[in-house]
Amino acid sequence: MPAQQASNAPSAELVAECVAAQRHVSSLADALNGRLEDARQSNRPQQIRAALADLQAALVEIRTRAAACSPLQAASQPADPHVGHTMPSAPAPQGATRPGATAPPTAPAPKPAKPADPHAGHTMPGPAKPGQPPSKPAPESKEAKETIDPVCGNTVDPGKALSTTYKGKTYHFCSAEDRLKFIRNPETYLKKKEAAK
């Protein structure tokens, strides 16, 4: 084991080369930073363009010099103790695959059906006027549960009966025939209803 560690150890020459490269990159970065700041302060397009061109060339040099340290980085990193190990296969989550594996074609999961909105069709009361107490719901009257067909005079359930609106008021009918008669001549039936009162 010690012999293997000694063979992995970087040479003194390699270390010296990397240290020299880091010093050069550091001084180059400081000089470029000063040059860019001067160009920015001058606010002259020509000077800014020249500083950017120098920066672009310096980046190429920095990459070249940084390459001298890459063997050191590889030597300093310990070998991964998990290389070559395999994990027991477990069902992967839908849509996920293990690296290097091809996913079998799967049909897309069906979208869950949206539940019906229990509030669909409801309307909110308008805002209360300043200085007025909030409105209370009107108490249910017997008339709301039963109404009279204006054509034949029979009692009908408004929740189940056919209806039509005339002059802002809703009238309910026990048959489609009565409703049609009323629509054709509503005043006749309304006058008859008034006379009956």
CB 184 within 8 A of CB 178: no
CA atoms of 153 and 192, how far apart (whole Å): 10
The secondary structure of residue 27, as a DSSP letter, is H
CB 116 within 8 A of CB 139: no
Q: Which of 27, 50, 76 is the last residue before a domain boundary?
A: 76
The secondary structure of residue 170, as a DSSP letter, is E
Q: pLDDT: is 91 or 180 the higher one?
A: 180
Q: Which domain holds residue 31?
A: 2-76
| Number of structural domains in the chain | 2
Residue type, 171: Y
CA atoms of 76 and 58, how far apart (whole Å): 27
The answer to whether residue 136 is domain-embedded is no
- Of 147, 7, 157, 186, the residue nearest 79 (C-alpha): 7
**pLDDT tens digit string along 137-184?**
555 554 457 899 999 989 999 988 999 999 999 999 999 999 999 999
SS3 160: coil
The answer to whether residue 173 is domain-embedded is yes
The answer to whether residue 42 is domain-embedded is yes
**pLDDT tens digit string along 33-79?**
888 888 888 888 888 888 888 888 888 888 887 777 777 666 666 66
SS3 156: strand
Pick from 24-28, 50-54, 78-82, 187-191: least confident:
78-82
User: What is the DSSP pairing of strand 155-156 with strand 162-166?
Assistant: unpaired
